[in-house]
Amino acid sequence: MTTDIDGFAGRLKRRENGGMISAWIGTPDPLLVNHLSQEAFDAIVLDMQHGMWDMASAANGISQVRLAGKPAIARIPVGDFASASRLLDAGASAIIAPMINSADDARALVKATKYPPLGERSWGPSLALNHFGIAADEYLQGANGLTVTIAMVETRAALDAIDEILAVDGIDGIFIGPSDLSIALSNGARLAPDSAAIDQTLAHAVARCRAHGKLICAFGTDGERAGQFLKLGLDLVIAGAETAQLRAGARTAIAAARKVAAS
Ligand code: 3PY
Ligand code: MG
């Protein structure tokens, strides 16, 4: 099952263009997705863990991503594997699942996101068929290779089990969550997603993913951090959440206006 109907999985695995940069959107407005999809992002993540998307708004958001001809990725809430199947049905090209801490967690994720023989994803991809423009049997044959299943590694338990998680058939890669990981590594003392401890962990994770032939992705707090991650060899990175990008843009515009007015 290696068909790669929309090209996303293949481009990601070939690390074309030095790795992908994805938007990360928690504000549940499909029209905001429409606008951001016009920028040079390689993909768009809709964050349903900490963002405010519900299933209907996420399906509409995915449609706006597809309208721009881009792959949509959904991050599900913790343990909400039923939603993972539904989001794939709605046309998501990839699922990011937070807090995957063991091989058992990884197997539960695969069960929901891959059709047999890898998993037990239930049939019903009506919107996905429309978005990808293919027939049902073609989707069934290709879906396990077409869609990407990504486990988040962001706890000590997950780090300890990283090889077991990566070894699960159907897990296509991992996504490092530097905020939660920094809290875990400091036993709750610090939020330090840009610290040296996270850099060391990332270098280790990159090596383990390469050893298993799997993808490595991570959340970067801003563009500079995302650039460092790409240099480290990551396959897909985030360059900050949409709210941070929006507010940074507003700050820059206000400062520019004040500067000109005062000159
Ligand atoms: C983390 O950094 O913990 C994430 O989940 C990315 O937002
Ligand atoms: Mg997290």
**Domain count within the chain:** 1
Question: What band does 149 get if pLDDT is binned at 50, 70 and 90?
Answer: very high
In a domain, 172, yes or no: yes
Determine the distance separating the centroid of ligand 1 and the alpha carbon of 7, expressed in angstroms.
26
- 115: in domain: yes
Instruction: For 194-232, write each residue's pLDDT tens digit.
Output: 999 999 999 999 999 999 999 999 999 999 999 999 999
Question: Does 97 reside within a domain?
Answer: yes
The residue-averaged pLDDT of 10-18 equals: 93
Supply the DSSP string of 173-185, one letter for each residue: EEEE-HHHHHHHH
Ligand 1 neighbours (beta carbon < 6 A): 98, 154, 177-180, 193, 219
Residue 2 lies in a domain: no
The predicted structure's pLDDT at residue 65: 97
Whether the per-residue pLDDT at 1 is higher than 90: the answer is: no
Which sequence positions are flagged as catalytic?
A: 50
Tell which atom from ligand 1 comes closest to the C-alpha of 75. Answer: 5
Distance in Å, CA 175 to ligand 1 centroid: 9
User: Looking at ligand 1, which atom is closest to the CA of residue 180?
Assistant: 3
pLDDT (tens digit, 9 = 90+) per residue, 158-188?
Answer: 999 999 999 999 999 999 999 999 999 999 9
Nearest atom, ligand 1, residue 183 CA: 3
Pocket test for ligand 1, best of 24, 100, 150, 154 (most atoms within 8 A of CB): 154
Among 185, 198, 219, residue to substitute to test ligand 1 (most atoms within 8 Å of Cβ): 219
Provide, rounded to the nearest whole percent, the portion of the chain with pLDDT above 90: 97
Let me know if residue 1 belongs to a domain.
Answer: no
**Residue 33 structural domain:** 8-262
Give this prediction's pTM: 0.97
Closest ligand, as measured to the CA of 193 = 1
In a domain, 211, yes or no: yes
Q: Provide the mean pLDDT of the chain.
A: 96
Q: Looking at the domain assignment, is residue 3 inside a domain?
A: no
pLDDT, mean of residues 23-48:
98
Residue nearest to atom 4 of ligand 1 (CA): 177
- DSSP H helices, the chain, are 8-14, 30-36, 55-67, 81-89, 103-113, 126-132, 136-146, 156-160, 162-166, 178-185, 196-212, 223-232, 242-262
Q: Which of 50, 76, 180 to mutate to test the pocket of ligand 1 (most atoms within 8 A of CB)?
A: 180
In the predicted model, what is the mean pLDDT of residues 110-138? Answer: 97
Residues 6+ apart with CB under 8 A from 158: 99, 100, 101, 102, 151, 152, 165
Q: 3-class DSSP state for residue 216?
A: strand
- Domain of residue 126, CATH code: 3.20.20.60
